[in-house]
Amino acid sequence: MKLDVNVALVLTLLIVVPASAVAWEPTKPIEFVVPAGTGGGADQMARLIAGIADKHKLSPRPLIVVNKAGGAGAEGFLDVKAKKGEAHTIVITLSNLFTTPLHTGIPFSWRDLTPVARLALDEFILWVNAETPYKTAKEYLAAVKEQTGKPGQMKMGGTGSAQEDQILTIQLEQGMPGTKFTYVPFKGGGEVCVNLVGKHVDSTVNNPIECVSHWKAGRVRPLAVFDTARISVAEWKDIPTVKEALGVDVSYLMLRGIFGAPGMPKDAVDWYVAFLKKVTETPEWKKYTDDGALKPAFATGPEYVKWVEENEQLHKDLMTKGGLLKK
């Protein structure tokens, strides 16, 4: 008789507890879209997250990284935008979240997506090939000015056109009258630094993580960081700010954040927030942010949305000043 009572109790619980009370979790592989080429900062971060998730069993299903870099990332953003209500697609963002629609006029805005979390803010550094004679930013910019308007005008390599690297290049030119670079776009930051090593360009404004391996191998040299203060991590702290090195007030930090497809269910958003928080608490993530000089800046909800809104306006202002808005 006692057995019958227990069975009845279990059946009652099964009937009373609705399916919606069960926390959401992935039931199939998660498509992790990277709107940039392989080897760059966004690609490296996405693959790190996928690897951490697998190693620490943080997700019941794997994250599959897919690069969709066409049209300065438009391919990736439009693909995710088209998957309304899909809970198994996320996208990692860089500044092309703002720059691509502002420059190209494609029918896309970050508001089309579901904000999930800001993970970190990325630095930018002025780099030259280590075999060049330039030991300081001042020496290099003097050479750039000397070559401006000549057949040997210095080449600045960067990710995409009218994106963060070109914005920084224009800001540097505007802050140093009489200085002009020939801007050379590439598909991703990894490719940019490889071309600096190969001497196909004279300088870059790569993120630290994109050039750190080449720096440690003695192939490239950092001259200045585009921030209001020096990077605090030990191996980076000797690099002066652009303001210190050149007397020019140029600073810029880039979003490393996650968005979901339009209309992603709230319980799915909550799962991704908790998942990403766990990722950022692992030793692998700590090592990655230290090695790549990223600023930890985890944020969700209204705080994340407010930051995105403010930085959308900042990019509009910078691109207007640089003549990069779609006409």
Distance CA 253, CA 115 (A): 19
Distance CA 142, CA 12 (A): 80
**Is the distance from CB of 43 to CB of 51 less than 8 angstroms?**
no
Find tokens 């040299």 and name the residue: 221
18-22 average pLDDT score: 50
User: Tell me, what's the pLDDT at 13?
Assistant: 45
271 by DSSP, 3-state: which? helix
User: pTM, whole model, 2 decimals?
Assistant: 0.84
pLDDT tens digits, residue range 159-179? 888 999 999 999 999 999 999
Going by pLDDT thresholds of 50, 70 and 90, the confidence category of residue 20 is: very low
Query: Who wins on pLDDT, 16 or 66?
Result: 66
CATH for 125-246 is 3.40.190.10
Distance CA 44, CA 315 (A): 24
**Is the distance from CB of 50 to CB of 200 less than 8 angstroms?**
no
User: Tell me, what's the pLDDT at 326?
Assistant: 86
Distance CA 118, CA 97 (A): 13
DSSP symbols for 21-69: GSPP--SSPEEEEESS-TTSHHHHHHHHHHHHHHHTT--SS-EEEEE--
Question: In this model, does residue 10 exceed pLDDT 90?
Answer: no
Distance CA 217, CA 266 (A): 45
Neighbours of 229 (CB within 10 A): 11
Which one-letter DSSP state was computed for residue 226?
S
Distance CA 145, CA 148 (A): 5
User: 25-122+254-321, what's its fold?
Assistant: D-Maltodextrin-Binding Protein; domain 2 (3.40.190)
Which one-letter DSSP state was computed for residue 112?
G
Going by pLDDT thresholds of 50, 70 and 90, the confidence category of residue 3 is: very low
Distance CA 280, CA 298 (A): 8
Distance CA 327, CA 325 (A): 6
pLDDT tens digits, residue range 147-159? 999 999 999 999 8
User: Tell me, what's the pLDDT at 6?
Assistant: 52
Going by pLDDT thresholds of 50, 70 and 90, the confidence category of residue 1 is: very low
Question: In this model, does residue 118 exceed pLDDT 80?
Answer: yes
Find tokens 């949305």 and name the residue: 305
pLDDT tens digits, residue range 65-95? 999 999 989 999 999 999 999 999 999 998 8
Helices (H), 198-265: 208-216, 242-246
Amino acid at 123: E
Query: Who wins on pLDDT, 6 or 47?
Result: 47
Neighbours of 107 (CB within 10 A): 10
28-52 average pLDDT score: 95
Phi, psi of 263 (to 5 degrees): 70, 25
Tell which residue, 5, 28, 245, has the closest CA to residue 140.
245
Query: According to CATH, where is 3.40.190.150 located in the chain?
Result: 25-122+254-321
Phi, psi of 126 (to 5 degrees): -85, 120
Query: According to CATH, where is 3.40.190.10 located in the chain?
Result: 125-246
Q: Is the dihedral of CA 295, 43, 72, 242 positive or negative?
A: positive
267-281 average pLDDT score: 98
